[in-house]
Chain A
Amino acid sequence: DQQVKQNSPSLSVQEGRISILNCDYTNSMFDYFLWYKKYPAEGPTFLISISSIKDKNEDGRFTVFLNKSAKHLSLHIVPSQPGDSAVYFCAANGDGGATNKLIFGTGTLLAVQP
């Protein structure tokens, strides 16, 4: 029962262009979403988050969009840089911080070509 889905296992983008990573969820109780970035042989590192009361959150080159009616969120990276090449995980929380338990998607491998 996969509650958070990232249907694209990989994405290749040219340097300078926009990268769009997608994530779908099934549990309407989720009210907080996070994106993590992971390099090989390292742990995931937090990138950006969004609360369900918002539909957009921006931090520099990274913007997360949330469409609650579609149970869909996306991460936009613009402009993409070779150093952005990594696996990106979408994660969700639905207990208001009671446990901070995160439900992760399976990740999307982003390759930014120079």
Chain B
Amino acid sequence: DTAVSQTPKYLVTQMGNDKSIKCEQNLGHDTMYWYKQDSKKFLKIMFSYNNKELIINETVPNRFSPKSPDKAHLNLHINSLELGDSAVYFCASSQARGAVTEAFFGQGTRLTVV
């Protein structure tokens, strides 16, 4: 009974393609995130949604577009994939804003662009 689940776990695709990564959480949390872990192991936030509202949008190329159909889902669409997009992408969720609470992470999606 996975709390934060993301699919697929592995994704290999060619440059220029468009791909999506899906994320769902069953914890009843209001806030969801996308983090990226690059080849240097830096884990950096990309986006955050609270109740379907975008609250964090770091300096990310506009080829990346998050979509939140409801507060339990936050999908990541990537257009015109580039070699540098290869990384592990983690979805996470946490309880409502207003107090710092720990985030729960999915297992990650390893994206390889060839």
Mark A residues whose CB is within 8 Å of B.
31-32, 34, 36, 41-46, 49, 51, 89, 93, 96-104, 106-107
Contacts and interface: CB of A to CB of B under 8 A. Distances in A.
B112 to A, nearest CB: 14
A101 B56 contact: yes
Contacts, number: 66
Contacts of A45: 104-105
B105 A101 contact: no
A14 B31 CA distance: 40
Nearest to A95: B100
A100 B103 contact: yes
Contacts of A102: 45, 103
B43 A104 contact: yes
Contact of A100 (B43, B97, B106): B97
Contacts of A103: 45
Majority secondary structure, B binding face: strand
Contact of B56 (A43, A99, A107): A99
Interface of B: 4, 31, 33, 35, 40-45, 48, 50, 55-56, 90, 92, 94, 97-108
Given A97-B97, A97-B101, A42 B45 contact: no
26 contacts: A32-B100, A34-B102, A36-B105, A41-B107, A41-B108, A43-B90, A43-B92, A43-B106, A44-B43, A45-B104, A46-B103, A49-B100, A49-B102, A93-B100, A96-B99, A97-B97, A97-B99, A100-B100, A100-B101, A101-B45, A103-B45, A104-B42, A104-B43, A106-B40, A106-B42, A107-B41
B101 A99 contact: no
A104 B92 CA distance: 14
B110 to A, nearest CB: 8
A43 B107 contact: yes
Contacts of B90: 43-44
